[in-house]
Each structure stands twice: as C-alpha cells, then as structure tokens.
Amino acid sequence: MKIKLLDASDAERYWKLRLEALKQNPEAFLTSYEDAIKRENPIDQVAHNFTTEGNFTFGAFDDEELIGVVTLLQESAEKIRHRANIFAMYVTPKKQGLGVGKALMVEAINKAKTMEEIEKINLSVMASNERAKNLYTQLGFKVYGFEENALKVNGIHYNDEHMVLHLKSGKRDSSLKGENIYIRPFSTEDAQALLTLQTVNRSFFEQFSMERNDDFYTVESQLNRINIYEEDSKNDQTYTFGIFKNDGLLIGTINLFQVLRGSLQSAFIGYFLDEKHTGKGFTTEAAKLLVKYAFNKLKLHRIEAGVMPHNIGSIRVLEKSGFHKEGIALKNVKINGKWEDHQVLAIINPND
C-alpha cells in the first residue's frame, strides 16, 4: 500500500471512489449520491479542489487502484485559520480492516502538524459508528459535542459526535534539545514515521535484536507501540524517545527501560539509529541528553548498558557519553535463537 497527496491527475479515480462511498454509506456523508451525480463537470471540480490552498486530499493505493481517501481542509477565514477539518474519509469495503484508514488519518494529521497556523483538527462521526470512533480516539481525538438528528436519510435520523485533536495546546515542550538533534516522547502522529524507520532498517536492526514478524511492520502495530510507550512512562517503567534531526526527521529511538526504584534507582539504556545516519555523532548526542534527563529529572543513580562485543560503534557511543566498561556478561541474552555475550557498561550519577 502506498499513500500520496492526490493531484489533478487523480481526479477521475477519486470521483469514482467518492460515488461508491455515497452509495455504500449514505448516512456517513452530508452529500447524497443523488445530488452528486447531478453535478456538472464533477471531475473538473475535484481537480480544482486539489489545487485549492489549504486543501489536502490523501489517497491510499494498492498498486494503481485507489482504495481509500481522506481530506484535510484548513479554514480560510482569518479568525479561524488555526482550525482544520478532516472529512470525506472512506475505505473501499474489500480493503477495510487492514489498517488503511489509520494510515490515511496519520498522514493527514502529520500534514496538519507541519502547518504553522494549525492548532487543532475537528471532525464529525456518526454516533453509532464505533469502529471509526475507536480509531479516532486511539489517534488522540476527544469528543466535545453531540448533535442529535444531524442527518436524515430515507426517513431515518442519525446522530453525530464532534471530535477534536489539539495539536498545540500550550503545554510545555517535552523535547530535550541538543546541537544537531533533539529527543522527545513519541505521539500517535509519529506512527507512520516510526513504521518507515523500522521498515527501511529491518535487516540492520535485526542484527542486534530479535527478528520481527510481518505484523510488526504496520501502522497499527506502531500505534500500539506508541500507546504502550505512553503507559510505561506513566508507570515509571520505561521512557522511550524518538531521535529527531533539527529539521524534524525521525532517525532513531532511545530509551531507558527496566527502571528499578527502592535501593537500586537504576535503569538500562538502549537505542537504534537509522543506518544511513550512523557515524555522525547523533547517537552520542542523544545518549548524553537522556543520561542528563535520567540523573536530573528521574533522579536515577545508575544507568547500565549491554552491548554485543563486536558492536564497536555502540561501545564507542557509550564511552563518549561517559560510560565505563565493567566486564562481560557471558551468554546472557538470546538473540535469534543464539545466546550472545554482552559487554556491560555503566555510568553513575555524579551527584550521588
């Protein structure tokens, strides 16, 4: 599956899928099929809409077949240009349940986050459509209103729920900033970027960690991971951050895991970096930021790392970050069916 921003060349395929949507789910759209087929030059109108400022329609393709669409539209009036709306969401029935809708929504949300003026995204959903509501809730949308009898189709009334996703809520920036990169906790809007990072580096990452099955390499799986990251940090168990270049590109992950309190006050550190960005000091910079956070914010006493002895680059990263070697843990981790030795390195909070 490929997702892209649609342009005028896609207008005919879009209109065909749009008519299918209006026929399949008349209760889900304000426009009726009967009204739609009466329009003059509808394909030209669609092509024009694709070029309108603030209008972004994304399509999901299976080879050359358009199988799903969603539109993000920024409000044009000056006083409400901080708002955008998501609408016209549809996935053809034969492709539903495969994560197409999630992928489209993530793409639309990510686009909104790149737009300086956009502070929130609104959408409306049929109150009885639990599947769609669960998706939107998982992506961070919250219900703010209920409209009774919003639509009337063939004599039947349908209620709508209005939902909102706040992109810029005025909360303190949780990024930890370095000179060339910054690290921050993941949000659901990062799912597609995280999937891309994992997919492109699949064979590289699996040299140093367990192999993953194909189900791992989906937007849905990455969304689930991000939700788990959030819960684990709330529970003071694991703290996972994305490593981003200053231009916003996700290039890796870094985390503190197995956080132990009581008399130990310790944790382990782990990280992965996009193969094409290795050797440039980005991981070292991220590790230093995380160690500082662990000691100053989390008040940990000790951070430990275990590295396969042949992974010289990772050992060098840790040593540059202040870690010292403590010895070899023999056959302590089973990776892809084989027990592997690990070089143990650690750093102690200088304030303790």
**pLDDT score, position 184:** 94
Spell out the per-residue pLDDT of the chain, length 352, in tens.
899 999 999 999 999 999 999 998 888 888 899 999 999 999 999 999 999 999 999 999 999 999 999 999 999 999 899 999 999 999 999 999 999 999 999 999 999 988 888 999 999 999 999 999 999 988 888 888 888 998 999 899 999 999 999 886 544 457 898 999 999 999 887 888 888 888 888 877 766 666 677 788 888 888 888 989 999 999 999 999 999 998 788 999 999 999 999 999 999 999 988 888 988 899 999 999 999 999 999 999 999 998 888 888 889 999 999 999 999 989 877 777 789 888 899 999 998 8
Smallest CA-to-CA distance from 26 within 163, 155, 144 is with 155
Contacts of 351 (CB under 8 A, 6+ apart): 295
Domain boundaries, the chain: 2-166, 176-348
Cβ–Cβ under 8 Å, residues 255 and 245: no
Smallest CA-to-CA distance from 106 within 21, 166, 193 is with 193
Smallest CA-to-CA distance from 226 within 95, 98, 106 is with 106
Judge whether 2-166 and 176-348 match in fold: yes
Which one-letter DSSP state was computed for residue 248? S
Domain 176-348 CATH (choose: 3.40.50.150, 3.40.630.30, 3.40.50.300, 3.30.465.10): 3.40.630.30
Residue 338, classified by CB atoms within 10 Å of its CB into exposed (0-12), middle (13-18) or buried (19+), is exposed
Structure tokens at 37: 């087929």
Smallest CA-to-CA distance from 283 within 309, 311, 244, 310 is with 244
Q: The domain 2-166 belongs to what CATH superfamily?
A: Gcn5-related N-acetyltransferase (GNAT) (3.40.630.30)
User: pTM of the prediction?
Assistant: 0.54
What does the chain come to in residues?
A: 352
Catalogue the E-assigned strands of the chain: 2-5, 55-62, 65-74, 83-91, 120-126, 142-153, 156-166, 176-177, 181-185, 239-245, 250-260, 266-273, 302-307, 324-335, 338-348
**pLDDT score, position 211:** 67
